[in-house]
Structure 1
Amino acid sequence: MTMKEQSQRLGTQPIPKLLWNLSIPAMIGMFVMALYNVVDTLFIARGVGILGVAGVSIGFPVMMIMMAISAAVGIGGASVISRRLGESKPEAANKVFGNIIFIILLVSVVGIIGAFTFMKPLLVLFGATPDILPYAADYLFPIMLGSVFFSFSFTTNSIIRSEGNSRFAMITMIIPAVLNIILDPIFIFVLEMGVQGASVATVISQASVSIVVLHYFLSGKSSLELRLSEIKPRMLVIKETLTIGMPAFVRQVAGSIMIISINFMLIKYGGDFEVGVFGIVHKLTMFTIMPMIGVLQGMQPIIGYNYGGNQFTRLKETIMLGMKVVTIISAFIFIIMMTLPEILMHIFTGDQTVIDSGAYAMRIMFAMSVLIGVQVVSGGLYQALGMAKPALILSMARQVLFLIPLVLLLPNFFGVTGVWLAFPLADILAFTLSIFFLYKDRKLFFTKAEETPPYTPVHPH
């Protein structure tokens, strides 16, 4: 299929079929990533215990900050590269690619130096208690040493997708996840390496996919060429890349700050035990949001293309169908989380107190989960239309505007339960804000075919 046909079907293929074709690879990739996260936690909970999970939960924000930089560079770089390729300037695209590799190497050097210098103080700052610290340090040390593999595989994923190779991008997400699931029990149980075993398994699986990706770029399968001569910093290119990647960076860092705030309040009003419980619940939460993000990733190119082509009937149909699908998914999640939380917790641990605390937390946290779908879609909707301000406000609304302040406020009145209560309250507030924006721009999203939109597209496609 030529690029032309691939793009044209966005304007011609029936929406349900199109949404299905575009969402499924995204969903599979995200699902496998989430699965590996859950399995990782499962082996640590079974092999090391709840303090091991607490250690990972404290170390996770550091990993998220590394991923945030990679995501910003990857998403920003992908955008610049695809435009350069579209302008038939392969040389300029290679220059951008070289600069991206330069940033990755820079981040990796900081990671390696950090492993030996500021890692432990950072973990203490992020809330590690004396009991949790050894576990958190054991987990994070190999990951910071191997940060070059993380940054490389994470960043190039967006770039491969921007070339239109979504199948290979999906494969590069599946390889490390499957490898990790195989290696985890070997390192944790057979070699008795505990928490460190889990992170060594992660580094090995990221290293192996990095080799696969490197081969892809060196073997001429990509539109880009990796040349040593291009790996030198050009400030203008770096600036352009990072400006576009900024919302992704902000979102990831916000997620990191959210986890730090939650861990901090849990230690203050509960203890190490609660941090471990949240470690398990948080991994399950990531699992629930993945299918909705998959639907959104499928919707975005259709929305952008049809908005640009003034095909408002198709735009409206895509939005309505997407909203229906994510609402059905969130209703399904609500039912599961209300009826089966004990069973889900039991997968991770046989400890009855952990199961009870986790089930209690999940029932409160997911009380308003029916509203999550609309929030996920509305932020991404503005992103697809290139309307940066509402996109940034809505994508940050739940975590930054509502969840973090509520997490810091409510435990003062309700103790540990206050942390869990922050979630449904943030859902109600973020949902209300999404509806406000959608209502304000209803003319744009829900126009009849003959009407012209109040906005002109930023750049006609």
Structure 2
Amino acid sequence: MMEKNQRAEMMENEKIPRVLMKLAVPGIIAMLVNAVYNVVDTMFVGMLGNTSAIGAVSVAFPLFMIIAAFGQMFGVGAGSYISRLLGEKNKELADKTTSTTFFTSLVCGIVFMNVGTIIIEPLLKMFGATATIMPFAKEYSTILVAGSVFTVCNMTLNNMIRAEGNVKYSMFAISLGAALNIILDPIFMFGFDMGIRGAALATVLAQGISFIFLIRYFISGKSYIKIAFKHFTPSSKIYAEIMKIGIATFVRQALSSLSLGLINVAAMPYGDAAVAAMGVTLRILSIGVFVIFGYNQGLQPVVGYNYGAKKYNRLQEAIKVSLKLTTIFSMLVTVVFMFFAEAIIGVFSNDAEVITIGAKTLRAISLLFPLFGFQQVYASLFQALGKGKESLILSLARQGIFLIPAVLILPKFFGLNGVIYSQTIADFFTIIVTAILGLILNKSLKKEEQNVYYKGLREQQIVV
């Protein structure tokens, strides 16, 4: 593990491309493993030879995203604040924030576990479960909700570990959970003949083991920031700082969940094959999406630390390098999805209708994917810099302001094609909003840099 003083030295003085790679690569690997798990999990369910079972996984996915939204709310919000506090050398408040966030997320996870179990069926109906999909969806989702406390806490702990710069440990924890899930899936599903219930049980068990691995990092004293009940400080200041960024993250995740549910509902009139195709397509797309997310997990602590330390040259360099790398990657993903859409969808289902609808959807979503890196880099920047308003706007834009109306309106005029192209339309308008906010941010950072420079000159003149 990297020593504490080495982490600070790396953040402040090491070359930005090298720092980004050190922090981003573990995040990319962890998120990629997670994405591969999602894909493999769907593949195993596809082996059951039942399109309704694949549809059940598609319907359960928005529910899982709601659970994850709570963990991301606490984790991303606290992570942004902790990074800035460490940059300001305020270790005491960083410890209080860490402990307060963990214990709050633990209580939230327990509450969700109990409430979610009671209202599971209405939730699944809202997310697009048909009469034939519902039995599979309920069987699968009930177990996932029972283990939701692990999901919430894991995402919280992961983000806080990344905030102090130890992305490698976070990577190992996520990778461990995903790898165990992939191993346990076929054992429970086919070895123990548990079917779709086995897939859900494998997920919960893997999440539980991952939680043990994560909390051990803090309990063993390896962490720089600490979790202890004596540091638990439920103050309005700490919660305000967490929620300033966390709420925007929660809204984005919750709207993503709602939008996926609406897409499933819009696809329902076209049969289980359409619902299944939407779910398969989004799982495949998650490979490209999660790599960008993983990269941004490495970018955020670099941005937060250097912004807190008022090292604007390093901050600007991190932005330029990140935009270049994520755009190149997004373009490569687009080429693969465009040219091999049918072959990729065919790995998950042998249903001709699922393959046809899925391939068309994958190509439609890929049309504007080359600019996905641009969107997400700026969304991460606003989070890391503590600019909650702008972060909230972008969160509402892609998965709410533009996507929800598109899903509700386009199918009425274009049928299934309206469902298929709804995300593409939403991405188009989101890119415009991102560009406007990005220009404003760049001007604001330059102004802040100038103010710091002139303040330094005045202080030197006073000393002389």
Normalised by the shorter chain, which TM-score bucket? 0.7 to 0.9
* Cα deviation code 1:109-152 (max 9, x no counterpart): 4413532x221122123322211110110111111222222222
* Cα deviation code 1:319-355 (max 9, x no counterpart): 2222121111111111111100111112212222222
Superposition CA RMSD, Å: 2.9
| Most deviating of 405-414 and 40-49 | 40-49
* 1:107 equivalent in alignment to 2:109: yes
* 1:69 equivalent in alignment to 2:78: no
How far, CA to CA, are the matches of 1:131 and 1:151 in structure 2? 30
Residue 87 of structure 1, aligned match among 74, 78, 90: 90
How far the C-alpha of 1:37 sits from its partner, in A, is 0.8
How far the C-alpha of 1:263 sits from its partner, in A, is 0.8
How far, CA to CA, are the matches of 1:65 and 1:456 in structure 2? 41
Gaps of 5+ in 1: none
* 1:283 equivalent in alignment to 2:286: no
How far the C-alpha of 1:307 sits from its partner, in A, is 4.5
What's the TM-score, normalizing by structure 1? Answer: 0.88
8 Å CA contact 1:30, 1:294 repeated in 2: yes
Which residue of 1 is the match for residue 420 of structure 2? 420
Output the amino acid matched with 1:359.
A
CA distance 1:51–1:327, change in 2 (3 Å):
same
8 Å CA contact 2:96, 2:233 repeated in 1: no
Which residue of 2 is the match for residue 332 of structure 1? 332
How far, CA to CA, are the matches of 1:239 and 1:318 in structure 2? 27
* Cα deviation code 1:197-234 (max 9, x no counterpart): 10000011111122223433333333566657778977
CA distance 1:138–1:365, change in 2 (3 Å):
same
8 Å CA contact 2:249, 2:395 repeated in 1: no
How far the C-alpha of 1:95 sits from its partner, in A, is 8.1
How far the C-alpha of 1:310 sits from its partner, in A, is 5.4
Which residue of 2 is the match for residue 44 of structure 1? 45
What's the TM-score, normalizing by structure 2? Answer: 0.87
How far, CA to CA, are the matches of 1:331 and 1:83 in structure 2? 32
Which residue of 1 is the match for residue 406 of structure 2? 406
Which residue of 2 is the match for residue 346 of structure 1? 346
Which residue of 1 is the match for residue 462 of structure 2? none
8 Å CA contact 2:165, 2:301 repeated in 1: no
Within 5 Å, which residues of 2 pair with 1:257-406?
257-268=258-269, 270-307=270-307, 311-406=311-406
How far, CA to CA, are the matches of 1:31 and 1:351 in structure 2? 27
CA distance 1:113–1:229, change in 2 (3 Å):
farther
How far the C-alpha of 1:410 sits from its partner, in A, is 0.6
Which residue of 1 is the match for residue 135 of structure 2? 134
How far the C-alpha of 1:256 sits from its partner, in A, is 0.7
| Most deviating of 73-82 and 242-251 | 73-82
* Cα deviation code 1:391-441 (max 9, x no counterpart): 222243221121221111111111011111122222221112222233345
Output the amino acid matched with 1:111.
M
Output the amino acid matched with 2:54.
V
How far the C-alpha of 1:29 sits from its partner, in A, is 0.9
Question: Residue 68 of structure 2: SS of its match in structure 1?
Answer: helix
Output the amino acid matched with 2:419.
V
How far, CA to CA, are the matches of 1:179 and 1:195 in structure 2? 17
Question: Residue 47 of structure 1: SS of its match in structure 2?
Answer: coil
Which residue of 2 is the match for residue 24 of structure 1? 25
| Most deviating of 127-136 and 302-311 | 302-311
Output the amino acid matched with 1:105.
V
How far the C-alpha of 1:175 sits from its partner, in A, is 0.7
Count of residues in correspondence between the two structures: 451
Which residue of 2 is the match for residue 187 of structure 1? 188
Which residue of 1 is the match for residue 120 of structure 2? 119
Output the amino acid matched with 1:52.
A
8 Å CA contact 1:380, 1:395 repeated in 2: no
How far, CA to CA, are the matches of 2:427 and 2:350 in structure 1? 31
| Most deviating of 1-10 and 47-56 | 1-10
Question: Residue 402 of structure 2: SS of its match in structure 1?
Answer: helix
